[in-house]
Amino acid sequence: MVSEQFDITLRHSNFKKPTNEDFIFNIAYQLAEIINFCHKNLIIIGYLTMNSIVLESKISHELPSIKLSQYGYYYVSGNNADVDYVIGSPWYLSPERLAQLNNKCNAIYKSDIWAFGIILLEICLGKCLSDIWGIKQIISILSSLIRKTKEGSLLQPLIEAIRMASPNLQIEIELSIVSIIEECLQILPSQRISARNILDRLRILKPTTNFEIINMKNSCQNLTIQELEIQIKKSIKVKQCYERPLNELFFLWKLCGSSVENILINRGIIKLKQPPAHTLPFIIINNFRMFGNEDARKLDTTFSIYALPNRNLKSRLMSVSIENLCYSFELDLALGKRNTIELNSQSIFVRERDIDYQVLRMGQFSKLLRAYPYKKDFLLLESRKDIPPIYRGKVWAALLDVMDRARREFKQIDTITEQVSDRQLQVDIPRCHQYDELMTSPAAHYKLKILLKAWLSSHPNYVYWQGLDSLTAPFLILHFNDMPMAFGCLKSFVSRYLYNFFLRDNSAIIQEYLAVFMHILAFIDSELYTHLLKLEFRPELFAIPWFLTCFAHVLPLGKLMHLWDVLLLSDSSFGLFIGIAILIHLRNQLINSQFNDAILLFSDLPDISIDNILINSKKFYQDVPPSCTYRQHSSKFLREGFTPLSNLSYEELLNYHCPRISSQDLNKLVSQQLVLIIDVRPQLEYSVYSLPGSLNYPYTNYSSFEQAIQHIGTALETARLNEHVICFVDNVDLNCAKMISKECVTNGYNRICILDGGIKSIMTK
Amino acid sequence: MEDYKYLFKVVLVGNAGVGKTCLVRKFTQGIFPPGQSATIGVDFMIKTVKVGEDKIKLQIWDTAGQERFRSITQSYYRSAHAIVLVYDVACQPSFDCLPEWLGEIEQYANRKVLKILVGNKVDKEDEREVPERIGKNFADANGFDYFLETSALDATNVDTLFQEVATRLTNDMKLTDERFHNFKSNENRDGNISILDRVLERAKCANCRT
């Protein structure tokens, strides 16, 4: 467990000397506050000793402020369930824990209060119980005292025992404190006082001490603006202003190349059992159940604290420029620097390991997240560059607009009752993203199940489709300790990007999606489209796992995160373009392959460069007119100004070999002079009404494309060279446009589309 | 353009988690992938085997097991030469679903398709829920051409299974070829080519797609 550490613990401080009343009250109050905070957050500390209390300020301070370390051991070990040793220190074990020492030795909230009482006693004595008694002694002494006393407080018997053990020790405790310790050392947990009540008692006992002020020593509340300015200037000079949360620093520490495991192994703190062959079990059966030689495989843990070296990080941070350390959006604005999206040309994987860059980005994003939702525009803008890994979970939640409502909803969902999908979940969860270490843990399996069950029961119209597990995993990983948030993200994600994909009968949605996907492929790369069509290599054979899971089932999590970083900034059509980008990425292999090679290519998707995919999918997303991606089954999460098309059945869609475009989008293209419009209606109709600048070439059942090329070939070639869109305008039935567009696509013309609704759609406007 | 005599399409079906993908991977790549993720839609593998002197290419369609995908998987049965129906011997429910799968096969697959029943995961002997005899009886009673118990984990019968599929299909195909040749030589005597002739020719070409 990695946490912030301070050099001096209460035990090692010279706490014997200033055992004046204020000192004791000060420590007691702070510690009680800490315990109360933990208990309010449902954390049992379990391991609470003099050693785990650290002093934040130097001991010379009259009233030091303290912090508690090692408070999470008991909690992270599943309340002692995941380890087979006791998490607790013998001198601080409460009667109820001592009673089951050989069994589970479970702690309860009140066990922490007992430890608190012992600590308070030790402070008053100026001596630790461990200085008086050894492990065996303390356990037998406590056991016999408890047996003798039966109920009530153990304080007096304990003091007598201490007197017997060290007669020279002066024991003088102030009465008010005695009364508190007494209540803490009640043998029956039910009679022990709670942390909250301790706080109340302390406030009543010492109404004159303003406890709150203690914690504000460092705050600048009482400074004038001028004083504040001086302080800031001073701190900037010595780079003191870089005070960052521990998670950021630990992330940077790792980026410096350090690894906790290696350091601990090299220093002999973790001992690798040598040779590993000796740890093998005698027999393994079934699902790797191991028997024999258990002791050799047992994990030994100590509760000691080791300081990780941070010289590298410190010196590295000294070399980071002040602009990166203390970035300010306001300053940039004030200085008139325009916040442009200057895309860093380095690969995203390189950027994520660049310390200078990450320092800057973490600072920026932690500010933007704190300002959320007020600075959402800024957040979106910055996210377009990239998202720092350490804040990805929070940024995603912000981008997905996860509301407290969804989080509250999670807490009210019944995830225990058996559901129809349980059996399938049992089969699927143990094989979901199992190359990822976290995902192989029993905790991850459990949480994934709860998340899926919660999502399913809150969406009665949806059912469990295989792949939903893969889709849920990224949110679980990013919010591993905040399931309501993971749930909120999943919920919002599906409603935006996979709307109705998980209906019991989703064929209409999937079919339409795949049809539109192929149309866009024809628009972007007609040659590849024609080739795949010829092979009968239909998207049903390869693209279902792509789109059903938004690529979560086909990409490793590392790449997926980067993909979704971009997806979450785009509308629900973006998935289509990712699919196209993958096809284009594999284009050379595909165009030269036959059916068998093609299907093999997709069954184990090769190692694709995600940077490349992202660049291309963003480009296509910009280039293709938005209405071309229209799906009647899509969610409402669409681009601003998105114009719908008329709805077609799947069978009708199959008759098209290119996308349709809305009149509004066509207008836009006309105004930008980026389109060639060919009107295929009979000449007479064309002469009655036509689009300005459009060519007329009547095309019918009897026309041949060769003939057509003679007339419109030059125009088509010019459009091709200029990368203009080629739009066919027809009557409302679009039959002729369908025929000629198909010929164009087959003959390798890109950017072909048909005006939706025909000429009428323009005339009515 | 590889040289092979025939290419056969083999479709694996059966409940989710019975080990279809593992069987295919073990056979084609020699690995047993623990933690293999679920198959969505369909997955493909190809392997060439030898039957006598002939090289035979097996195009294996590994389909999604979950019931919901059936509307999608139905189209995969089309033009299959063999269908391998897999259940898990340590999972009675996967056996109980066999009649449903048979219904699907009858409805969507070619009438003359080679049908094979496979009980997988025999390595889990102490968790076995379906005795071999029961599986065999089911196969006999329901017109399967072949029944076999396998384990993708320890490779029991995996190669045998696919070798058997290839051998049977090859023999069938050779028989058809022979008949066709005899027929053709008879026909050719009077110099006519019938429609049937052309259809057979085309079918052959489709099967030996290069």
Q: What is the pLDDT of residues A553-608, one digit of tens each?
A: 999 999 999 999 999 999 999 999 999 999 999 999 999 999 988 888 887 777 88
Question: What letters, b where the CB count within 10 A reaches 16 and e where it falls short, cover A115-148?
Answer: bbbbbbbbbbbebbbbebbeeeebbebbeebbee
Range with lowest mean pLDDT among A51-65, A520-534, B160-174: A51-65
CB contact (8 A) between residue A596 and residue B7: yes
Compute the nearest-CA separation of B66 from chain A (Å). Answer: 7
Confidence label for A216 from pLDDT (cuts 50, 70 and 90): very low
* A621 and A659 both lie in a single domain: no
Per-residue pLDDT, A288: 55
Give percent of chain A with pLDDT exceeding 90. 57
Question: Is A598 inside any structural domain?
Answer: yes
Say if residues B19 and B85 touch (Cβ distance below 8 Å). no
| Nearest-angstrom CA–CA distance, B106 and B124 | 31
| Nearest-angstrom CA–CA distance, A662 and A723 | 19
Compute the nearest-CA separation of B85 from chain A (Å). Answer: 19
Say if residues A174 and A182 touch (Cβ distance below 8 Å). no
Question: Is A96 inside any structural domain?
Answer: yes
Per-residue pLDDT, A214: 44
Residue A600 sits at the chain B interface (C-beta within 8 Å): yes
Number of domains chain A contains:
4
* A453 and A568 both lie in a single domain: no
Pick the residue from chain A with its C-alpha nearest to B71: A507
Residue A466 sits at the chain B interface (C-beta within 8 Å): yes
Report the pLDDT averaged over residues A467-492.
Answer: 96
Inter-axis angle of helices A21-40 and A195-205, to 10 degrees?
Answer: 150
Final residue belonging to a domain, choices A445, A474, A497: A497
* A557 and A670 both lie in a single domain: no
Compute the nearest-CA separation of A543 from chain B (Å). Answer: 9
Contacts of A435 in chain B (CB under 8 A): 35
Region for A598 from its dihedrals, namely left if φ exceeds 0, alpha if ψ lies in -120 to 50, beta otherwise: alpha
Contacts of A431 in chain B (CB under 8 A): 35-38
Name the one residue in this structure whose structure tokens are 């007479």: A684
Report the pLDDT averaged over residues A323-346.
Answer: 69
Per-residue pLDDT, B157: 95
Check whether B188 has a pLDDT greater than 90: no
Sign, CA dihedral A141-A144-A145-A151, equals: positive
Per-residue pLDDT, A275: 65
State how far Cα A274 lies from the chain centre.
Answer: 38
* A83 and A158 both lie in a single domain: yes
Compute the nearest-CA separation of A392 from chain B (Å). Answer: 25
CB contact (8 A) between residue A434 and residue B37: yes
Say if residues B69 and B43 touch (Cβ distance below 8 Å). no
CB contact (8 A) between residue A541 and residue B41: yes
Q: B4, B40, B92, B153: best mutation site toward chain A, by most A Cβ within 10 Å?
A: B40
| Nearest-angstrom CA–CA distance, A556 and A578 | 15
Region for A415 from its dihedrals, namely left if φ exceeds 0, alpha if ψ lies in -120 to 50, beta otherwise: alpha
Q: Smallest Cβ distance to B35: which of A427, A431, A542?
A: A431
Report the pLDDT averaged over residues A196-209.
Answer: 81
| Nearest-angstrom CA–CA distance, A330 and A124 | 52
Confidence label for A40 from pLDDT (cuts 50, 70 and 90): very high
Distances (CA, A) of B181 to A557, B184, B197: 55, 5, 10
| Nearest-angstrom CA–CA distance, A603 and A609 | 17
Final residue belonging to a domain, choices A205, A225, A252: A205
Contacts of A468 in chain B (CB under 8 A): none
* A491 and A511 both lie in a single domain: no
Contacts of B39 in chain A (CB under 8 A): 466
Residue B127 sits at the chain A interface (C-beta within 8 Å): yes
CB contact (8 A) between residue B66 and residue A466: yes
Residue A503 sits at the chain B interface (C-beta within 8 Å): no
Give percent of chain A with pLDDT exceeding 70. 90
Predicted confidence (pLDDT) per residue in A417-428, tens digit: 888 889 889 889
Check whether A681 has a pLDDT greater than 70: yes
CB contact (8 A) between residue A433 and residue B45: no
Per-residue pLDDT, A227: 72
Say if residues A413 and A421 touch (Cβ distance below 8 Å). no
Q: B15, B46, B68: best mutation site toward chain A, by most A Cβ within 10 Å?
A: B68
Question: Is A755 inside any structural domain?
Answer: yes
Range with lowest mean pLDDT among A38-42, A78-82, A159-163, A576-580: A78-82
Final residue belonging to a domain, choices A187, A205, A223: A205
Contacts of A433 in chain B (CB under 8 A): 37
Q: Smallest Cβ distance to A466: which of B16, B46, B124?
A: B16
Report the pLDDT averaged over residues A482-507.
Answer: 95
Predicted confidence (pLDDT) per residue in A646-670, tens digit: 999 999 999 999 999 999 999 999 9
What dihedral do alpha carbons A147, A148, A153, A157 form, nearest 10°?
Answer: -120
* A524 and A489 both lie in a single domain: no
Q: What are the residues whose beta carbons fall under 8 Å from the beta carbon of A279, sequence distance 6 or more? A: A273, A293, A296, A297
CB contact (8 A) between residue B124 and residue A540: no
* A666 and A754 both lie in a single domain: yes
| Nearest-angstrom CA–CA distance, B40 and B29 | 20
| Nearest-angstrom CA–CA distance, A392 and A386 | 10
Quote the tokens at residue B169. 């299909």
Report the pLDDT averaged over residues A328-340.
Answer: 70
Per-residue pLDDT, A84: 76
Question: Is A440 inside any structural domain?
Answer: yes
Contacts of B64 in chain A (CB under 8 A): 466
- Range 30-89 of B in CB contact (< 8 A) with A: 34-46, 57, 59, 64, 66, 68-69, 71-72, 75
Per-residue pLDDT, B1: 46
Report the pLDDT averaged over residues A165-177.
Answer: 85
- Range 86-125 of B in CB contact (< 8 A) with A: 93, 124
Q: Smallest Cβ distance to B44: which of A465, A548, A603?
A: A603
CATH code: domain of residue A540: 1.10.472.80
Closest among A103, A87, A107 to A1, alpha carbons compared: A87
Sign, CA dihedral A517-A519-A523-A527, equals: positive
Check whether B2 has a pLDDT greater than 80: no
| Nearest-angstrom CA–CA distance, A692 and A685 | 14
CB contact (8 A) between residue B75 and residue A540: yes
Question: Is A746 inside any structural domain?
Answer: yes
Quote the tokens at residue A406. 């969804």
| Helix runs in chain B, H state only | 20-29, 70-73, 92-96, 98-108, 132-141, 158-189, 195-207
How many beta-carbon contacts under 8 Å exist across A and B?
81
| Nearest-angstrom CA–CA distance, A117 and A27 | 12
State how far Cα A378 lies from the chain centre.
Answer: 20
Q: Smallest Cβ distance to A540: which of B72, B127, B210?
A: B72
Instruction: Count Cβ atoms below 10 Å from residue A186 Cβ, excluding itself.
Output: 22
Contacts of A507 in chain B (CB under 8 A): 71-72
Closest among A321, A325, A401 to A363, alpha carbons compared: A325
Indicate the helix (H) or strand (E) that contains B87: strand B82-88
* A476 and A518 both lie in a single domain: no
| Nearest-angstrom CA–CA distance, A510 and B40 | 13
- SS3 assignment, position B192: coil
Question: Is A248 inside any structural domain?
Answer: no
* A51 and A94 both lie in a single domain: yes
- The mean pLDDT value of chain A amounts to 87
* A446 and A575 both lie in a single domain: no
**First-to-last CA distance in chain A?**
67
Question: Is A644 inside any structural domain?
Answer: no
- The better pLDDT of the pair B26, A231 is held by B26
Pick the residue from chain B with its C-alpha nearest to A439: B35
Predicted confidence (pLDDT) per residue in A391-409, tens digit: 999 999 999 999 888 888 9
Distances (CA, A) of B19 to A426, A599, B154: 15, 21, 13
Contacts of B32 in chain A (CB under 8 A): none
| Nearest-angstrom CA–CA distance, A625 and A380 | 22
Compute the nearest-CA separation of B64 from chain A (Å). Answer: 9
| Nearest-angstrom CA–CA distance, A430 and A448 | 10
Compute the nearest-CA separation of A430 from chain B (Å). Answer: 7
Report the pLDDT averaged over residues B25-48.
Answer: 89
CB contact (8 A) between residue A286 and residue B124: yes
Say if residues A9 and A53 touch (Cβ distance below 8 Å). yes
The amino acid at A320: V
Q: Smallest Cβ distance to A603: which of B35, B38, B45?
A: B45
Predicted confidence (pLDDT) per residue in B61-101, tens digit: 999 988 888 888 888 898 899 999 999 999 999 999 999 99
- Range 157-196 of B in CB contact (< 8 A) with A: none
Per-residue pLDDT, A226: 73
Residue A435 sits at the chain B interface (C-beta within 8 Å): yes
Say if residues A325 and A242 touch (Cβ distance below 8 Å). yes
Predicted confidence (pLDDT) per residue in A688-700, tens digit: 999 999 999 999 8
| Nearest-angstrom CA–CA distance, A418 and A476 | 21
Which range of A258-267, A302-311, A318-327, A570-579 scores highest in mean pLDDT? It is A570-579
State how far Cα A694 lies from the chain centre.
Answer: 51
Region for A677 from its dihedrals, namely left if φ exceeds 0, alpha if ψ lies in -120 to 50, beta otherwise: beta
Per-residue pLDDT, A223: 65
> Residue B55: phi, psi to the nearest 5?
-90, 125
Check whether A617 has a pLDDT greater than 50: yes
Q: Smallest Cβ distance to A553: which of B40, B69, B71?
A: B40
Compute the nearest-CA separation of A600 from chain B (Å). Answer: 6
Question: What DSSP string describes A465-483?
Answer: -TTHHHHHHHHHHHTTT-H
Quote the tokens at residue A694. 């459009």
Closest among B101, B83, B88 to B149, alpha carbons compared: B88
The upper half-sphere exposure of residue B113, i.e. CA atoms within 13 Å in the direction of its Cβ, equals 26
Closest among A420, A508, A501 to A467, alpha carbons compared: A501
Q: Smallest Cβ distance to A424: which of B40, B66, B126?
A: B66
Per-residue pLDDT, A410: 92
> Residue A503: phi, psi to the nearest 5?
-65, 155
Check whether B21 has a pLDDT greater than 90: yes
| Nearest-angstrom CA–CA distance, A355 and A684 | 69
Name the one residue in this structure whose structure tokens are 């991977």: B25
Q: What are the residues whose beta carbons fall under 8 Å from the beta carbon of B179, sequence distance 6 or more? A: none
Quote the tokens at residue B203. 């079918």
CATH code: domain of residue A116: 1.10.510.10
Say if residues A516 and A659 touch (Cβ distance below 8 Å). yes
Indicate the helix (H) or strand (E) that contains A370: helix A355-371
| Nearest-angstrom CA–CA distance, B79 and A359 | 59
The amino acid at A657: H
- Range 279-308 of A in CB contact (< 8 A) with B: 286
Per-residue pLDDT, B189: 54
Confidence label for A333 from pLDDT (cuts 50, 70 and 90): confident
Check whether B128 has a pLDDT greater than 70: yes
Closest among A558, A559, A511 to A538, alpha carbons compared: A511
Check whether A137 has a pLDDT greater than 70: yes
Q: Which domain holds residue A571?
A: 507-629
Q: What is the C-alpha R_g of chain A?
A: 34
- Range 580-599 of A in CB contact (< 8 A) with B: 594-596, 599
Confidence label for A217 from pLDDT (cuts 50, 70 and 90): very low
| Nearest-angstrom CA–CA distance, A144 and A685 | 108
The amino acid at B52: G
Inter-axis angle of helices A109-125 and A155-165, to 10 degrees?
Answer: 40
Per-residue pLDDT, A66: 87
Secondary structure letter of residue A271 according to DSSP = P
Q: What are the residues whose beta carbons fall under 8 Å from the beta carbon of A275, sequence distance 6 or more? A: none
Quote the tokens at residue B199. 């259809």
Q: Smallest Cβ distance to B36: which of A431, A548, A549?
A: A431
Indicate the helix (H) or strand (E) that contains A512: helix A507-524
Indicate the helix (H) or strand (E) that contains A235: helix A225-237
Residue A440 sits at the chain B interface (C-beta within 8 Å): yes
Check whether A747 has a pLDDT greater than 90: yes
* A533 and A485 both lie in a single domain: no
CATH code: domain of residue A415: 1.10.8.270
Q: A463, A466, A468, A600: best mutation site toward chain B, by most B Cβ within 10 Å?
A: A466
Confidence label for B33 from pLDDT (cuts 50, 70 and 90): confident
Q: Smallest Cβ distance to A466: which of B40, B45, B75?
A: B40
Q: Smallest Cβ distance to A434: which of B35, B44, B71?
A: B35
Compute the nearest-CA separation of A515 from chain B (Å). Answer: 15
Q: What is the ipTM of this complex?
A: 0.82
| Nearest-angstrom CA–CA distance, A2 and A228 | 34
Q: Smallest Cβ distance to A600: which of B40, B46, B209?
A: B46
pTM, rounded to two decimals: 0.84
* A121 and A163 both lie in a single domain: yes
Question: Is A268 inside any structural domain?
Answer: no
| Nearest-angstrom CA–CA distance, A185 and A198 | 13
